[in-house]
Amino acid sequence: MAFPKNPIIIHENLLVSPQSSTQLSLPLTFFDLFWLRFNPNERIFLYSLPNHSHDPSFFFNNIVPNLKTSLSLTLQSFLPLAGKIIWPSHLPKPIIQYNPGDAVSFVVAESNVDFNMVLQNSPCDASESRFLIPNLDSSDSSASVVSMQITLFPKKGFSIGITAHHAVVDGKTSNMFINAWANMCRSSVEECPSFSLKPELEPFFDRDVIKDPTQLDLLLADNWTKDPNDATKKKRSLEILSFVFKPKVENSVRATFKITFKDLDKLKKRLLSKWNEVVNDDEVVNDSYSKPDTLSSFVAISAYVSTCMARAIQEDEKNEQKKFAFGFAVDCRSRLEPKVPENYFGNCVNLHVVDAKPEDFTKEDGFVIVAKKILSKTKNLDKDSVLEGIETLSSKHETRARLGVELISVAGSSRFRVYENDFGWGKPSKAEITSVDRGLSIALSQSKDEKGGLELGLVLKKNVMNIFTNLFHEGL
């Protein structure tokens, strides 16, 4: 079934303000500046309406006002989200600036698409999620931080689409805000006037906890001013590089895959049974490859899905030898010295790329090889190595691209517990990281249906998705 050409009607373009007279400025750290002009984080939460709430008036008279009021109250604790990124001429790097009266874009829309079709996990046109996601304004002089879109599916449900600037929030910060907003909204629906945020949801803004003795922040800020076509020219711009990070939705499909606890256990046992049979060249001098007693779900599923993806792409393009790498973001909060508070507001992640050979992903024993490499990398992430390579991350990424190496990465985390974000009308029927369509990414979350299970979201070319689906299920 295809979507209609005009799947939504915009009812209102609103602005929601925190109603705060406090002015706030936050400098961007080197963690933030790496993402300055990258694509934003884009998420969709889909909620089924209770039977008594099927009348559209319930949505417009109850749900929308509660979401707006609770958003305004939540933003009072998250003022930077209502502000903008600016780059004053007298400062060497950009800042986040909130001025009283600043507000968040809040779009109210209605869709004529079948809600059950949107909830399905089977492959569908990758572009179809895009109509539920709001735009995020950016220009040379400023960039908005977050925007919202609330979309009604009459008599069925509604969605909350959230677009957030990656230079302001990482996955943990974004989830902390969404969780705080959901709790605030649920308390208003349940008429709890004395509600206050839990301490772990109160953002910590002090940038002094991020130590930067080598002034990496200034290096990264300066790198963003360079003209890629002429190194002698420099220009300050905060416009998101949408032409570089454009969604890859043409001839592509989006699908969700469920991994049960039993599936995960099978994968771990298979890996451990073959652990000593598959030996890499560098294992002789590296004891971090020794067989572990247990394996984490992250190691098992990352190795399994990334090698299935690589094999599917390779099989679809038989005439060309493809090269792959695997990267994942590491939360540095607990690994830095001194430690950064868990409720720190801002980016505090570093991307680590696994030291596997590009051809390892498509080998017969690639699943085991890549799993060993991922485990070795995670075992060595202490306070001395967690920031390793951060100063050359951009240049290495460019080098991989020039060499034709495709980076498979992970977005999200099973620890974020996205299916617990209840705004007062029940938990999500589906949660999606829409922005995985901008690259080869695996959207990872905990299962909605089973404790210990996982849910994966992928966007691939149609032919590749068909091959991947067969490989994925055969392997389980």
Per-residue pLDDT of the chain in tens (476 residues, 90 and over written 9): 455 566 899 999 999 999 899 999 999 999 999 999 999 999 999 999 987 777 889 999 999 999 999 999 999 999 999 999 999 999 999 999 999 999 999 999 999 999 999 999 999 999 999 999 999 999 999 999 999 999 999 999 999 999 999 999 999 999 999 999 999 999 988 877 767 889 999 999 999 999 998 999 999 999 999 876 776 788 999 999 987 789 999 999 999 999 999 999 999 999 999 999 988 766 544 556 789 999 999 999 999 999 999 999 999 988 788 899 999 999 999 999 889 999 999 999 999 999 888 889 999 999 999 999 999 998 888 666 788 878 888 788 888 888 889 999 999 999 999 999 999 999 999 999 999 999 999 999 999 999 999 999 999 999 999 999 999 999 98
Structural domain includes residue 243: no
Structural domain includes residue 427: yes
Query: Do 212 and 256 fall into the same domain?
Result: no
Query: Do 145 and 257 fall into the same domain?
Result: no
Structural domain includes residue 400: yes
Structural domain includes residue 247: no
Helical ranges in 364-412 per DSSP H: 366-379, 393-402
Query: How confident is the model at residue 358, as a pLDDT?
Result: 87
Pick the catalytic residue: 125, 137, 331, 422?
422
* Domain final residue pick, 173, 208, 234: 234
> CB-side exposure of 434: number of CA atoms within 13 Å?
29
Query: Do 109 and 52 fall into the same domain?
Result: yes
Query: How confident is the model at residue 411, as a pLDDT?
Result: 96
Query: Do 173 and 209 fall into the same domain?
Result: yes
Pick the catalytic residue: 166, 170, 217, 263?
166
Structural domain includes residue 134: yes
Residue whose tokens read 């300050």: 236
Q: Which structural domain, as residue segments, surrounds residue 431? A: 252-475
Query: Do 222 and 108 fall into the same domain?
Result: yes
Query: Do 429 and 299 fall into the same domain?
Result: yes
Query: How confident is the model at residue 67, as a pLDDT?
Result: 98
* Domain final residue pick, 234, 264, 279: 234
Helical ranges in 21-82 per DSSP H: 30-33, 56-58, 64-75, 79-82
Query: Do 257 and 404 fall into the same domain?
Result: yes
Query: How confident is the model at residue 285, as a pLDDT?
Result: 46
Instruction: Tally the domains of the chain.
Output: 2
Query: Do 49 and 130 fall into the same domain?
Result: yes
Query: Do 295 and 410 fall into the same domain?
Result: yes
Structural domain includes residue 17: yes
Query: Do 266 and 216 fall into the same domain?
Result: no
Which helix (H) or strand (E) is 176 found in, with range?
Answer: helix 171-189
Query: How confident is the model at residue 1, as a pLDDT?
Result: 47
Query: Do 217 and 282 fall into the same domain?
Result: no
Query: How confident is the model at residue 419, as a pLDDT?
Result: 96
Query: Do 179 and 318 fall into the same domain?
Result: no
Query: How confident is the model at residue 181, as a pLDDT?
Result: 97
CA 103/CA 257 separation, integer angstroms: 37
Structural domain includes residue 3: no
CATH number of residue 440's parent domain: 3.30.559.10
Q: Is the pTM of this model over 0.85?
A: yes
* Domain final residue pick, 234, 266, 292: 234
Q: Is 54 a catalytic residue?
A: no
Strands, E assignment, 414-453: 430-433, 440-446
Q: Is 352 a catalytic residue?
A: no
Structural domain includes residue 246: no
Helical ranges in 195-296 per DSSP H: 216-223, 261-274
CA 286/CA 331 separation, integer angstroms: 25
Q: Letter for the amino acid at 258?
A: K
